[in-house]
Structure formats: C-alpha cells, structure tokens
Amino acid sequence: MDETLVGRAWERRELEKIRRSNTPELVAIYGRRRVGKTFLINRFFGKEKIFFELTGQKDGTLPEQLGNFADAFGMAFAGGHRIAVPESWGQALRMLAAEIDRRKVGGKVVVFFDELPWLAGRRSGFLGALDHFWNTWGSRRRNLIVVICGSAASWMIERVINDRGGLHNRVTRRIRLEPFTLAEAREYLHARRVRLSDKQILELYLATGGIPLYLRHVERGRPVAQNIDQLCFTRDGFLRDEFNNLYSSLFENSGVHVDVVRALAKTRRGLTREELLDRTRLSTGGGASDVLRALEESSFISSTVPFGRRKKDALYRLVDEYSLFYLTWIEKAPRTVFSPQPSGYWSRKATTPTATAWAGYAFEGICQKHIRQIKQALGISGINTNDTAWAHRPPRGTGQGAQIDLLIDRADDCITVCEMKFSNKRFVIDKKYARELESKLGVFKEVTRTRKTVFTVMVTSYGTRENAYYDQLVDGQVTSDQLFNV
C-alpha cells in the first residue's frame, strides 16, 4: 500500500516555508533511525521534484561511496547509464553543480544527501567538498534547496550545525524529527486501516513507542498482544534483533551507549551522571558528555534538572519504549519462545505483576513526552511553566525520602504535582497509597519550603476512581484519552 504522509504538522509547515522561500536553503534534518526522515522528504517534495538524491552506505569505503554517486548521477541524468566514477567529492559536487547549471531549471531544485554521517566518513573529504559546494556555488542559487539528513543526531549537530569551519552558520534551517506522538500514531495506524481503539494503541505504544517503521509492521485484524507476539517473539520477528542493529548503526563503539541504556532500564527514578559513571564504562570528562548527548539527541534518553537543583544534578531516564521492552522482555525470553509462528508468549505475560511494573515505567515515559497534552487537559497551557522532577534522599536513618517524577512549576505561583499510574482498569487510591502520597507531599513542602500553592493531579491510563482518599488528596485527573489530543 502506498503510504501518505500523516502527522508531522509542524515539520510540514517548516518544509512549506522552505519550499516557498526565495533564498537558497541548506536544511539539516536529524533524528534516530527508523523515525521517518527519508520518508518525510520524499513524500513532501515528491520524488519527481527531487533533482538529485544520494544515500550514504554504512561502513562504505571512499571508492564505494563515490561509485554510488556515479550510479545515482547516471540514473538521474544519463538515462540509467553509469558515468565514470569521480576521483573525489570535490569533483563529484562540481559535476552536480555543472549539471544543474546546464539544465537551467526554472523551479525549485532539491538536492538530497541522505545518511550524511556515512557519506562523510574519516578522511573522505565530503564535508570540505560540501562546504565549498555551498559557499562558492549553492549559496548563490535562489531556487536551490539542499537537504542533508542523518540518523546520528549528535554527529549532525557537532559536525554540521555547530561546525566551526566552513559550514559554520551556513545551515539555514534545522528540523529534529521525533517519534510520533500518540495522536500521530493513531492517525498513522488508521491511515493504514489498522483499526485499534485508543486503549489498544496505548498498549502497543508501551512496547514500540512512536517509531513509524515499527508501527508499519502492525497487521490489521490482529489484537495488540498477537501483533507484539509476531513482531517480538517469533524467530524472524522484525523487532526481535532490532536492539543491537539499532545502536550499532548509530554509534561508533556503541557498547558504552548500550551500557548507559541498560543501567537506566533498571531504575524508574533515573540516574545522575555520577551514578552512571559508577555503573557503566563511561569515562569521566568529555567522553561521558558526548555519549549522554548522543543518546539524548537521538531520543533514547532524557535529562531533567530536579526542582531547586543545579544542572550538574540532572537526572537521566530511559524514554525509548522499544529499548525498555527489549531489555525487560525480549532479551530475557526463553529461546524456545522464538518459534516460526507466534506462541502466545506475550498474551500470557501481559497480565503478570512483572508486566504491570514494566508498563508503569513505560507509561511514565510516555507522559513525559506528552506534557503539552497534560497541561492542555488541565487548562494551564497558556501559563509559563518549568516542567521538572524532584527527589529527596536524606542520609540513611535521618529522615523520610520522596520522589516526584513530574512537577509543573508554574508562573502563576502554583505547582502541579503529577502522579503517573498505569493500570488495566480504573486506578484506585487505597489506604496504603494514600499514606505514601500524603507523606510525599509533606516531605516536598517541608524540604523545599515552597510558598506556592501545591495541586496534586493523577495522570492515569484509564482514570482514577473517586473515593474518600481521592477527595482528600487529589485536585484533578488526566486520563490517557487526553494524551491523544493534538
């Protein structure tokens, strides 16, 4: 089925501005693998309007990459006949510039370099040639749009966007492509005629996140549990071995990146930089910063500076749903599970206490990605806020600790404390949880000494039942249905 472009409203508005621009545009698009960067460009501009397109080859040598250029050039301009392979990227891009000039194209000319980090390998000379191509020729062509795209987000930022050489300040627009929101995932599935309820889409999202290519493999007419069984727990399931392929394709020496992800998957509260240094092979200094930045720019982890703390106290959390699901379930499943046909493994595991704990962690991450929708549901989207977390860990035996995973510090002299809970039915505040919540709020007020009014909101999968404890402690609630708001 030929897929149409769905969602991506902000990105499409930005691309439309680029298309209508009467100045040359050098556009950098980046985001993690499988998130749909190439699809977005090809569908928005249309293959018939892309003048030239070249995709980098992973681990390709310079002769191989230049050979691919010769093939692409021949397909675009020589009736499919391969031309002589250029000797360097400088020669290749001069050939491209000359061809554009020769054809005297009247409308927009879109040149698309995909997987730029693979094209611009060590000692390839590609970035220098691109710098020269743009500064001496491209920046003078008012109808030219050069799109450079890469999955290694931190590489794109350091080597292109923040480059101190010839490309410094040359990128005219940048677009960071994030995974689909819940609303976009629903729109995408429905466009593919996969008719799932919002409840089922949330359950699917807990395992796959909003990665378009993962959602593309969801089969219509199957319940969510059966789809997860097929994707994750069969011998040839698309997501069975995706984890290792994903990280190795994005990061050189990916072992340390995986170490960080594994460490964060083991704790719901998150870890500080110092704690990560203790638990992984991260090196002190710039090495650790580079790894954490790379993972954060690629949307695998997030960092939050806790309320009342400094940047060095930032907490890191794993927010990639598939990585968490893989480390919790796929990796630990018995080998006998991975048969050619689905065995019903996930259907049996989905209602266990372990699954409930995993879903709770994953749901918290989903809520963190949909803070805008939470604020919209609470009617505070027009108020300036600082969306953060808070934790108090006193020395052993000296007092009560507490943690708040989402705290909305508002400019209207109020603070909204969000309690995020996943349950397969309406969440019930019982006596034990009421005591925990009351203690947490008390510790927060005592330790922070805040003078702001503190409101407590329950953010749950399917609502919170109102009872005496709810009336006593809770000021409002948000359900997962409201997270689907656009």
> Over the stretch 116-130, which tens digit does the pLDDT of each residue have?
999 998 889 999 999
The contacts of residue 14 (CB under 8 Å, 6+ apart) are 173, 175
| pLDDT above 60 for 258 | yes
Q: Quick one: pLDDT at residue 392? A: 87
Tell me the pLDDT tens digit for each residue of 167-185.
Answer: 778 899 999 999 999 999 9
Identify the weakest region by mean pLDDT among 57-71, 93-107, 394-408, 437-451.
394-408
Average pLDDT over residues 250-257: 89
Q: Quick one: pLDDT at residue 158? A: 85
Mean pLDDT, the chain, integer: 92
Cβ-in-10-Å burial (0-12, 13-18, 19+) of 164 comes to exposed
d(CA 161, CA 167): 8
pLDDT top residue among 161 and 192 = 192
Identify the weakest region by mean pLDDT among 275-289, 304-318, 341-355, 434-448.
275-289
**pTM passes above 0.85:** yes
HSE-up of 430 (CA within 13 Å, CB side)? 2
d(CA 220, CA 196): 9
% pLDDT > 90, the chain: 79
Cβ-in-10-Å burial (0-12, 13-18, 19+) of 293 comes to middle
Q: Which residues pair with 199 in a beta bridge?
A: none
| pLDDT above 60 for 333 | yes
% pLDDT > 70, the chain: 98
Contact 379, 412 (CB under 8 A): no
Residues of the chain within CATH 3.40.1350.10 domain(s) are 371-483
Helical (H) or strand (E) element with 386: strand 385-392
| pLDDT above 60 for 147 | yes
d(CA 376, CA 391): 25
Tell me the pLDDT tens digit for each residue of 392-427.
Answer: 888 876 778 899 989 999 999 999 999 999 998 999
| pLDDT above 80 for 193 | yes
Q: Quick one: pLDDT at residue 47? A: 66
What would the CATH number be for the domain defined by 9-176?
A: 3.40.50.300
Q: Quick one: pLDDT at residue 1? A: 45
Residues of the chain within CATH 3.40.50.300 domain(s) are 9-176
Q: Which residues pair with 406 in a beta bridge?
A: 418
Tell me the pLDDT tens digit for each residue of 26-44.
Answer: 999 999 989 999 999 999 9
Q: Which CATH architecture has domain 371-483?
A: 3-Layer(aba) Sandwich (3.40)
